[in-house]
Amino acid sequence: MSVVEEKLKELEVTQKQFWNIDRYSANLLSMIIKGANYKNILEVGTSNGYSGIWLGMAARETGGKVITIEFHKCRYDVAVENFKLCNLDNIVEARQGLAIDTIIDLRKEDYNSTREQYLDFAFVDANKAQYINYFELVDKILRKGGMIAFDNMLSHKEKVQDTLDAVTNHPDYQSEMIYTEAGLLLALKIR
Ligand SMILES: C[S@@+](CC[C@H](N)C(=O)[O-])C[C@H]1O[C@@H](n2cnc3c(N)ncnc32)[C@H](O)[C@@H]1O
């Protein structure tokens, strides 16, 4: 077993404790990134880095980069260690900070591009009450043809109802719910 697979299996033992995405969803996101050749990837909510490892492995194949945001110092430290162990520290950049502030900062940066809408893919998995803010901010930097994936759209239905309504009624997005245990909403920016 590779070092990465060993680490993923180890992290799956504590999946519920660290609120990690399930393997099925992680593999699906990885396939989407590779299939669409997405390069500029953002994750909102790192935890111990489980999904970040999947995103990083996919980005390695597309020649891309991942920025992942976590405000909790201990979880951030663990994630940084895990990315290093998986040899992904040159691909996955973990940022410790509040999600909204960090996404706003990203807008001001030249992240791999000079285009204002440079982001290819975002995985939203932090504070459910702030999903609507993440959506509005990510939309500003997401290019046409890019995708946003939102986890926990069924498990935290009440908290994310405004986001579900905003995304599914948005004329610029085509979306579909994937009926995982948590509920994964995929939204493709079509215009
Ligand atoms: C569901 S977990 C992320 C799991 C991770 N995506 C995975 O699948 O391995 C959510 C994480 O977001 C972090 N978080 C929650 N609110 C945040 C905020 N406002 N800013 C930054 N991180 C936040 C939490 O500390 C927690 O570690």
- Ligand 1: atom nearest CA of 130 is 19
Dihedral (CA of 138, 94, 49, 26) sign: positive
Computed on alpha carbons and rounded to an integer, the radius of gyration of the chain in Å comes to: 15
Tell how far the Cα of 109 is from the centroid of ligand 1, in angstroms: 22
Kindly state the average pLDDT of the residues 43-54.
98
**pLDDT higher than 80, residue 108:** no
pLDDT digits (tens, 9 = 90+) for 56-100: 999 999 999 999 999 999 999 999 999 999 999 999 999 999 999
Ligand 1 atom at minimum distance from 11 CA: 9
For the cut 70, the answer to whether the pLDDT of residue 111 exceeds it is no
For the entire predicted model, the pTM comes to: 0.97
> Which residues on adjacent β-strands are paired with residue 95?
69
Q: What percent of the chain has pLDDT over 70?
A: 97
Helix ranges (H only) for 63-174 are: 73-85, 99-108, 131-141, 157-168
CA-based torsion, 137, 98, 14, 58: positive or negative: positive
User: 134: helix, coil or strand?
Assistant: helix
CA of 126 from ligand 1 middle (Å) equals 4
Ligand 1 proximity of 126 Cβ (cutoff 6 Å): yes
Distance CA 156, CA 21 (A): 14
Q: Write down the mean pLDDT value for the chain.
A: 96
pLDDT of residue 126: 98
Question: Token digits for 173?
Answer: 């997005």
- Higher-scoring residue by pLDDT: 142, 1: 142
In angstroms, what CA-CA distances link 87 with 9, 78, 82, 149? 16, 14, 9, 25
Domains belonging to the chain, first-starting first, are 3-189 (3.40.50.150)
Residue 45: predicted pLDDT: 98
Using pLDDT thresholds of 50, 70 and 90, give the confidence band for residue 113.
low
Q: Which of 7, 23, 70 to mutate to test the pocket of ligand 1 (most atoms within 8 A of CB)?
A: 70
Q: What band does 109 get if pLDDT is binned at 50, 70 and 90?
A: confident
Q: How confident is the model at residue 116 (pLDDT cuts 50, 70, 90)?
A: confident
Ligand 1: residue whose CA is nearest its atom 14? 126
pLDDT score at 145: 98
